[in-house]
Amino acid sequence: MKLNVGIIGAGRIGKLHAENLLSFQDVHVKAISDLYIEPIKDWVRSKGIPKVSTNYREILNDEMIDAVLVCAPTIVHAEIIYEAIEAGKHIFCEKPITFDINETYKIHSVVEASNIKFQVGFNRRFDPHFSQVENGVRTGEVGNAHIIKITSRDPEAPPPEYIKSSGGLFMDMTIHDFDMARFLSGSDVEEVFATGTNLVDPVFKEFNDIDTAIITLKFANGAIGVIDNSREAIYGYDQRIEVFGSKGCLQADNDLTSTVKKLGKNGTLQDNPKHFFLERYQKAYICELRAFFDSIKHDTKTLCTINDGLEAERMANAAKKSLEMGTPVKL
Amino acid sequence: MKLNVGIIGAGRIGKLHAENLLSFQDVHVKAISDLYIEPIKDWVRSKGIPKVSTNYREILNDEMIDAVLVCAPTIVHAEIIYEAIEAGKHIFCEKPITFDINETYKIHSVVEASNIKFQVGFNRRFDPHFSQVENGVRTGEVGNAHIIKITSRDPEAPPPEYIKSSGGLFMDMTIHDFDMARFLSGSDVEEVFATGTNLVDPVFKEFNDIDTAIITLKFANGAIGVIDNSREAIYGYDQRIEVFGSKGCLQADNDLTSTVKKLGKNGTLQDNPKHFFLERYQKAYICELRAFFDSIKHDTKTLCTINDGLEAERMANAAKKSLEMGTPVKL
Amino acid sequence: MKLNVGIIGAGRIGKLHAENLLSFQDVHVKAISDLYIEPIKDWVRSKGIPKVSTNYREILNDEMIDAVLVCAPTIVHAEIIYEAIEAGKHIFCEKPITFDINETYKIHSVVEASNIKFQVGFNRRFDPHFSQVENGVRTGEVGNAHIIKITSRDPEAPPPEYIKSSGGLFMDMTIHDFDMARFLSGSDVEEVFATGTNLVDPVFKEFNDIDTAIITLKFANGAIGVIDNSREAIYGYDQRIEVFGSKGCLQADNDLTSTVKKLGKNGTLQDNPKHFFLERYQKAYICELRAFFDSIKHDTKTLCTINDGLEAERMANAAKKSLEMGTPVKL
Amino acid sequence: MKLNVGIIGAGRIGKLHAENLLSFQDVHVKAISDLYIEPIKDWVRSKGIPKVSTNYREILNDEMIDAVLVCAPTIVHAEIIYEAIEAGKHIFCEKPITFDINETYKIHSVVEASNIKFQVGFNRRFDPHFSQVENGVRTGEVGNAHIIKITSRDPEAPPPEYIKSSGGLFMDMTIHDFDMARFLSGSDVEEVFATGTNLVDPVFKEFNDIDTAIITLKFANGAIGVIDNSREAIYGYDQRIEVFGSKGCLQADNDLTSTVKKLGKNGTLQDNPKHFFLERYQKAYICELRAFFDSIKHDTKTLCTINDGLEAERMANAAKKSLEMGTPVKL
């Protein structure tokens, strides 16, 4: 028996999920919706998706559909989520859940009171390298964790229209690292101190945003941590993590585009990291959906819950406040 | 319009190809044949392959079928190939083409006189790392090639029944490296000297075979080369290549299972190479079929021709003779 | 003509300098002093040092002596320095100059008003790897520096008696990293935020000290940076730096004890970093003295001035204050 | 009590040894001889070597001298060695002992019949990385050795006058690798097959020499091995070894000039291997002399005996014969 799924929002990530789902033998993409369907009609047909619509409610009203992927803009997440819960659909929701922490708290309550499965799209938890580190930490390979370090730099800045409605660096980009910090430590965060600045491009300043940041964390379990972010690393997508503890240190380095080295007059040249998230987290995107549908099929807890989504937003909010006030902020 | 394909032989590699082809939107696996179909009936059904048969001739007689993948045991390759050419099917044939060089010469003539596309299953040419090295050599990155080195070691020896009918180390295992040597150098080989011995397991000796070898090569373009083989590397599938020339050196190192490092009391531990050929050459298997069907669609030469298959067999034969006689053998 | 030098303090570092100087053909170690000379008399003789004394003033009163190395405990630095300046000796002084920032300010004034060469023992500036990174930053290889990261972890905690009079983590250990941050950025630091905790050993808490820390920095040139410290990394002395900027990133990784790798069943094992500072910075200790004596011979500015010593102490003080208050501290 | 040593031959290697010995507290360089002493007089004085002479017999006649380093051209080794044995001096002799295997056999007999310590200058045995690999092999870390691989490429070809009197690639350059093969395997070699060619520079052909070679080895203990050589690797001195066996594989990679990496637009650039033998084997040169004088002081066997020198020459001769005949040659 196949699970029927509807995808709400056919932007880059919605289409990526749709294509990945085609190889799932127990999942059927039954419908996709987007406000603008003209440009994707050919794509929908070529992928064999039976139904496309401008109205996501057609998906929610389809009783055959078991689950929805919420890939619409963050600004409309809340509305869709409430209706989807009402309709009894399981929900996979891209991050962040909402831009308004109070709204997210409310959604949290409603989800908790329901029987639906809710998974947040923190894809990096499902990266094979990072989950191997998390597994090592959890099983005691590094002993007690002392210091957690996350390097996370994008290869290129997004366009101005994206920046404008992104929610800012902490809510848009660092939110993945905030979740990774909780994932790796197995602990909530109690205090955040953020330093941020404009070094990459003045356009960020225009939108009252930053492009470069260092965020210090204090975990409830006593460990401390640090995240550093940049909106532009010209050598590619820099995604490294490190957990240092009493028994050693686990590191996941960048995943390079190739193992080839060229030894020449001026040194040995090796390929750069995989270009950006689509290349770097290709497997992670598949694994997170696999995990979501498995949790539906086996009626188990999702591996990235609404609470994980909420906590990451709380950290993003605290970081923003810390940056504005110039002091650490307790959660 | 889709190309219809039939797969002859549903062993490990036949099934692998069938599964990979499911993601090709322009190829349809219409039928599969094997002498023993009972054990695979469920698998065939689950993959949606319309027809399964014990008789490969049902595939050859199907006029809708454009191409066949010859994945049956080497011993029956010749018979199938002749009939497939007769039936006008394009042919993708696993290596080696035959165990008998004279037979392969004959097939070579027949294929050359026909209009069919013929591709030999030297999957490693399609490995992204190795093809990047070959591309670098071809475009002059290392200048004139002087020394070509290939390390090729299996993680574990095959079972006795496999060894028995394998054709021996050179024809079964080194044949990939012989082809890689020609691929990397862009040159034929003029002389082979082989040293071989039994160090891994006495079972190889029982079948008059070896398990450890070093083979020296002289290329027509003046370069020299060396291949080393072992049937058992306990740390995994060791597949490294190196082309050294007047302007530098290109190296492709092993593809590791993970980027994770563990720094502990006794040193830094990193993961092993990907376990074996299914893991290491996962992409290569897909790329070689993509290339085969592209050459059919665009009526271009295959990237691994019958001549490439023939030359590799000639090298395997020369290596065997060299080992028996204890002297170098000219081709 | 040889420069005559006297060494004040014959502890581990004093003896190390003495031995390194034996290979300098233009420097003569004429005398060494220590409160306890009995245990080192054999060593002094074996090294061919003509004079050993319990009173450093015998060194200062020796008119033949051109320069002194101040390797006595920090607590007596000030007194020795004032007298040495008075005696017209050039001074190489181990870090920190003093524990009292006001005292260091005073020394700064006196040194600036004199003609003597004064160099602070920030040996890491002279590490070939780190100075290669600094050179790359200075010559524009990374463009504008955006983020500077320093990882600095000791392999084992010092004994309690050392901790007691160490001046605390920031003044004893991080001070090297504070200097490295200024060295790499070519900029002063304007703000420090320190997080610190006790995770390694309760003994640090007894002395009101910490053993694990993360320190965030804001540089005058707009860059931001972060240092992480631990008093115990069981895999060895972890000393890594990274300067990330608009044109790329320069990284200096740990210097390993060996290039040997062992590929085994459970992965590939590589040697740990060089054990501790004596091994890791062996060349740096020689280079810093070479630079000191060169600046005397050629009458040039030292490469690590009294101002550099003062600034690093100011940062250590700010970090301590930041930790106590739980807020960032401006310098 | 110090050992007095005389150095015969003040070329590059003789001077290198002299300078290294200055740091040995139990060895005194009492005299040095060379046919041309004018150019080195200043150097001799600056190093504090008491005596310099054009006649090596003045060294042999000096009864205070315990040992000699034979660093003169190979062509005069035999004469010097016989006289040195006659004079009762311990002998450290640069490789090869002679160019004439029969002469070397004779010297072997005379040395064996004497009480003197004789060490051949195979410095690479004393390289910390390579000796760590040898130690691992000897203590069973790789189980039974199956395949031994040595890559040995010079960064630049020697000048024509050097090539002329070098004894040829095998006797001049590969001889180090032949010794390394015996050292790593702990076994003699029974058969050699050599392939060689002219790809680097026609000047080698003028002197009836080759510049590029691959040599296959069969060891008495059953293992097989391969050496590859080039007279010119534009990326630096390429010195790598690998011992593959039943329990794993030990590899020593190149020693790079620095740990610094630069991540830029076109990839990650790392420094080249240390330039040439003086840089790469700096420590090895010191360690081999330390070992020589220790074997004199403690009356123990040298770690690189006259027999080791003889066997390496036999291998070089066999390789030359193999290249001329085009067949493998038994030893």
Share of chain D above pLDDT 70, in %: 100
Angle at A61 between CA A57 and CA A65, to 5 degrees: 110
Give the nearest chain D residue to C132 (CA atoms). Answer: D260
What CA–CA distance (Å, rounded) separates A81 from C48?
83
The pLDDT of residue A174 is above 80: yes
Residue of C nearest to B263 (CA): C235
Compute the radius of gyration of chain A from its Cα atoms.
Answer: 20
Q: How far is A258 from chain D (nearest CA, A)?
A: 11
Distance CA C325, CA D47 (A): 59
pLDDT for residue B264 is more than 90: yes
* pLDDT in the model for residue C32: 98
Q: Which of D214, D216, D247 sits opposite B147 (nearest CB)?
A: D214
Among residues C263, A37, D81, D315, which one has the least CA distance to residue B254? C263
Tell me whether residues C259 and D254 touch, CB distance under 8 A: yes
Residue B137 DSSP SS3: helix
SS3 B266: coil
A203-231: average pLDDT: 98
Residues D120-140 pLDDT 10s: 999 999 999 999 999 999 999
Cα C63 to chain centroid, rounded: 29
Chain A: nearest CA to D269, how far in angstroms? Answer: 5
Tell me what pLDDT residue A224 has: 98
Q: Quick one: pLDDT at residue D23? A: 84
**Are residues C248 and D258, on separate chains, in Cβ contact within 8 Å?**
no
Q: Is A254 exposed, middle or buried (0-12, 13-18, 19+ CB in 10 A)?
A: buried
Q: What does the alpha-carbon distance between residue C286 and residue C22 come to, in Å, rounded to a whole number?
A: 11
**Distance in angstroms (rounded) separating the CA atoms of residues A107 and A98:** 9
Whether the pLDDT of residue B25 is over 90: the answer is no
Contact C274, D266 (CB under 8 A): no
pLDDT category at B111 given cuts 50, 70, 90 is: very high
Instruction: State the distance between the two ends of chain D, measured CA to CA, in whole angstroms.
Output: 44
Q: Calculate how close chain C gets to B218, using CA atoms only, in Å.
A: 31
Q: Quick check: A259 and B250 CB within 8 A?
A: no
Instruction: Say yes or no for a CB contact (<8 Å) between A153 and C248.
Output: no
pLDDT at residue D323, rounded to an integer: 98
Chain A residues near residue C246 by CB distance under 8 angstroms: 199-200, 232, 234
Helical pair D128-138 and D175-185, crossing angle rounded to 10 deg = 40
Report which of D252, A248, A147 is spatially closest to residue C272, judged by C-alpha positions.
Answer: A248
Q: What is the ipTM of this complex?
A: 0.95
Contact list in A for residue B265 (CB cut-off 8 A) is: 248
Nearest CA in chain B to D231: B246
Q: Is the pLDDT of residue A97 over 90?
A: yes
Task: Work out the average pLDDT over D195-221.
Answer: 97
B223 vs D149: CB contact, 8 Å cut-off? no
Contact criterion met (CB < 8 Å) for C197 and A222? yes
Q: How far is residue A10's CA from residue B31's CA, in Å, rounded to a whole number?
A: 36
Q: What is the structure's pLDDT at C45?
A: 93
Rounded Cα–Cα distance for residues C72 and C12 (Å): 10
In this prediction, residue B180 carries a pLDDT of 98
pLDDT in tens, B113-167: 999 999 999 999 999 999 999 999 999 999 999 999 999 999 999 999 999 999 9
Report the alpha-carbon distance of residue B125 to residue B130 in Å, rounded.
7
Please name which of D74, D208, D220, D219 lies closest in space to residue D150, comparing C-alpha atoms: D219
C253 contacts in B (CB within 8 Å)?
A: none
Cα of A318 vs its chain's centroid, Å: 18
- Can you give the pLDDT at residue D1? 74
Among residues A45, A51, A65, A58, which one has the least CA distance to residue A4?
Answer: A65
Closest CA to C142 of B203, D281, D263, A53: D263
CA distance D219 to D225: 8
D260: nearest CB among C23, C132, C263: C132
pLDDT at A268 over 80: yes
DSSP state of B246: T
Residues C191 and C170: their CA atoms lie apart, in Å, by: 15
Return the bridge partners of C6, or none.
C31, C68
Q: What sign for the dihedral angle of Cα B313, B318, B322, B325?
A: positive
pTM of the model: 0.95
Note the pLDDT of residue D76.
96
pLDDT higher than threshold 90 for residue D110? yes
Mean pLDDT of chain B: 97
CA distance D298 to chain A (A): 42
pLDDT of res. A140? 97
Q: Which residues of A touch B255 (CB under 8 A)?
A: 259
Residue D28 confidence class, pLDDT cut points 50, 70, 90: very high
Strand B238-245, strand B145-153: pairing: antiparallel
Inter-chain CB pairs, B–D, below 8 Å: 94
pLDDT tens for each residue of B204-222: 999 999 999 999 999 999 9
- Evaluate if residue B1 carries a pLDDT over 90: no
Residue-wise burial string across C171-204, b where 16 or more C-beta atoms lie within 10 A, e elsewhere: bbbbbbbbbbbbbbbebebebbbbbbbbbbeebb
Q: What is the pLDDT of residue A1?
A: 74
Q: What is the pLDDT of residues B56-105, one digit of tens each?
A: 999 999 999 999 999 999 999 999 999 999 999 999 999 999 999 999 99
Tokens 């897909």 found at: B286
Considering only CB atoms, which chain A residues are within 8 Å of B249?
A: 262-263
Residue to substitute from B263, B270, B274, interface C, most C β-carbons within 10 A = B263
Cα distance from B13 to chain A (closest Cα, Å)? 20
Low-confidence ranges of chain C (pLDDT < 50): none
Two tokens, residue C130: 């780190």
In sequence order, the 6+-apart residues with CB closer than 8 A to the CB of A133 are A184, A241, A243, A250, A251, A252, B260
